[in-house]
Structure 1
């Protein structure tokens, strides 16, 4: 009954208001004043009548539904790309280069070592005053005797529009595997490797692989101050990498800083059954900070970490007895675990908004939504 009374009053109120508008310029002023008083009576009656229960529940229901839907979307939709900071010790890493890789001067001086080998290159240029033994391949060079001082190591990626040989753009990559302390093995794809070395001791350089009895034939270089300079430039083929092997003396290390990269991978292939390979993680320990959620994840040895479409920089890479890497940038996805059972760590928008630095934005958005709904409530009449 109350609902029908409200409907009748609203109908009369609307009809009376329309008639007053039509006769506002030509009607009798006294009649218009009487109608205006009647209109005010209708308005007061409408305000005193209770609002129907379904209209009282309309706003809370709308808010509840919007909250549920919004929370559902925020809980399931991932914020991509997400910002990450990685601090790790690894036994191997593969980096897709955006800019040249160049070693930085270590705090304790230049790195020293022995038994260096370069192979698999399409073209190898070697400038040295020392004789070269053997002539089996123009794309290989081996330091079979002697010691070296590393005066420079640089990898220059191919031009971005270069053809990879299979119709796709070239991707310049560097992979470093540290199977034993001080024995890094490098694989360099679609890039030019430049090495500057100072050689000293009984030095033997050969185009052929070193033999076990390679003690004969070395050229004596007296000591470090009179070390013979060797400049190498090796360019890999589009499909096969240039391989670089050398051993570092105890305490020596290579340091690289601020490397611009567009991809990071922490895996390597190990031989399995004949004709097969198994992919294993190279992570020894790692700490991953997800800046958009404020979450820090500690990864144990052997954890499989995948940073999808990583784009950023390796702020520091140290290679010696161990390999330490620190990187920061953005990734479209962060996954940990075996491929079939991986856990996604990419923050959701709910985690992103809950982060302390985003709470002001969250409460501002809530106040805005409440204001809009309150205006709609008043527009609906109650």
Structure 2
């Protein structure tokens, strides 16, 4: 009922009250009764109008709240998203979150490592320590079936793994690396800055060379070798990962190193194929589940499962934010769909019971 009709009805009600009073004083009972009946009916209409407005107001407010909630759910992205990434790349950089011990050894015929701080091989009568601030020490091994064993890294290490032709290179910054080599037949060259030590290994039982590198920042530790057969790096836990490479060392210019791959977002069932030259940016790893790095057909194969705060992909400079908003997330949650469906059904059932009992 609009305001004009209510105002007219109120004016008419006042007039009818005065008219009924005069009729009652003049003993016109039928006329007074007619006016009273009209006033009673108008009062009932006014109450009905108020009830209708009281019912409509909550409905309107509920509708507005629902629209606002949908708008927020459409524009606000989730604080983290589960991702599954299976790619081939020429380069992968990451920050180690926990101390790591390699559980898989590597075989090679040629190995090089620099920035050594300590090295010892009792069977070769070799023991050397150096001061990284005064001199750099590097080791080169050439022979048959040289085994790289027990590589260890400490938490907060920044590492970079790159593949060039058949050569695999591991760079380490901000932390020292230690490990051991097993050699049977090999030529050994230790460059200690002011001197070069040459040794030849020829053993039936492999000799163990134990080493430890210096903790470097500007000039990273470099371990490079040509793996024989397939290889794999597992159990490495990280908090950051990147798939770009510096075009010229020290230039600060980075380009995407991706060759191919696929992204899957399990929570929204979204998937996307990656092409060579695409960027893949995953920010702030929230939950870590699995990381496997292995030999690929054209580079390094990386499989990652976990949760990140943001994920972007696409051509450089035109990356698309793949992090789902709350509406996308809720739409694909089957458990939530069942829950809300059951809730709506129960509410409707209880409302019908109430109507049947109370009318």
TM-score when normalising by structure 2: 0.72
* TM-aligned CA deviation for residue 348 of structure 1: 0.7
Q: 2:163 aligned with 1:193, yes or no?
A: no
Equivalent residue number for residue 125 of structure 1: 119
- The superposition leaves residues 265-320 of structure 1 with CA deviations (integer Å, 9 ceiling, x where unpaired) of 11111229xx8454122222222222332212221222100001123436242334
* CA shift in 2, pair 1:191/1:40, >3 Å: farther
Distance 1:365 1:92 in 2: 50
Equivalent residue number for residue 272 of structure 2: 297
* TM-aligned CA deviation for residue 68 of structure 1: 3.3
- The superposition leaves residues 199-232 of structure 1 with CA deviations (integer Å, 9 ceiling, x where unpaired) of 12142232269xxxx9x96524144xx1111111
**Counterparts in 2 of 1:279-290, with a 5 A limit?**
279-290=254-265
Alignment partner for residue 323 of structure 2, among 325, 329, 346?
A: 346
* CA shift in 2, pair 1:50/1:77, >3 Å: closer
The answer as to whether partners of 2:121 and 2:127 remain within 8 angstroms in 1 is no
The range that moved more, 91-100 or 310-319, is: 310-319
- The superposition leaves residues 147-204 of structure 1 with CA deviations (integer Å, 9 ceiling, x where unpaired) of 41223222123xxxxxxxxxxxxx42111111223x2111111222122211121422
* CA shift in 2, pair 1:267/1:49, >3 Å: closer
Equivalent residue number for residue 104 of structure 1: 103
Alignment partner for residue 113 of structure 1, among 108, 120, 129?
A: 108
1:340 counterpart SS class? coil
* CA shift in 2, pair 1:247/1:208, >3 Å: farther
The answer as to whether partners of 1:261 and 1:312 remain within 8 angstroms in 2 is no
Distance 2:199 2:110 in 1: 13
Distance 1:174 1:199 in 2: 26
Distance 2:5 2:58 in 1: 23
**Counterparts in 2 of 1:247-326, with a 5 A limit?**
247-249=226-228, 251-257=229-235, 259-271=236-248, 276=251, 278-313=253-288, 315-320=290-295, 322-326=299-303
* CA shift in 2, pair 1:186/1:298, >3 Å: same
Distance 1:314 1:246 in 2: 29
- The superposition leaves residues 238-258 of structure 1 with CA deviations (integer Å, 9 ceiling, x where unpaired) of 443211111212x1413313x
5+ long unaligned stretches in structure 2: 11-38, 352-359
Distance 1:62 1:365 in 2: 24
Distance 1:366 1:314 in 2: 34
Distance 2:43 2:101 in 1: 81
Distance 1:291 1:8 in 2: 63
5+ long unaligned stretches in structure 1: 11-38, 158-170, 375-382
2:83 counterpart SS class? strand
Equivalent residue number for residue 234 of structure 1: 213
**Counterparts in 2 of 1:25-40, with a 5 A limit?**
none
Equivalent residue number for residue 160 of structure 1: none
2:247 counterpart SS class? strand
Q: Work out which of the two has the higher radius of gyration on C-alpha atoms and give 1 or 2.
A: 2
The range that moved more, 330-339 or 344-353, is: 330-339
**Counterparts in 2 of 1:1-382, with a 5 A limit?**
3=3, 44-46=44-46, 58=57, 61-105=60-104, 110-121=105-116, 123-130=117-124, 137-145=135-143, 147-157=145-155, 171-181=156-166, 183-207=167-191, 218-223=199-204, 226-249=205-228, 251-257=229-235, 259-271=236-248, 276=251, 278-313=253-288, 315-320=290-295, 322-338=299-315, 340-357=317-334, 359-360=336-337, 363=340
Equivalent residue number for residue 35 of structure 1: none
TM-score when normalising by structure 1: 0.68
The range that moved more, 60-69 or 79-88, is: 60-69
1:129 counterpart SS class? helix
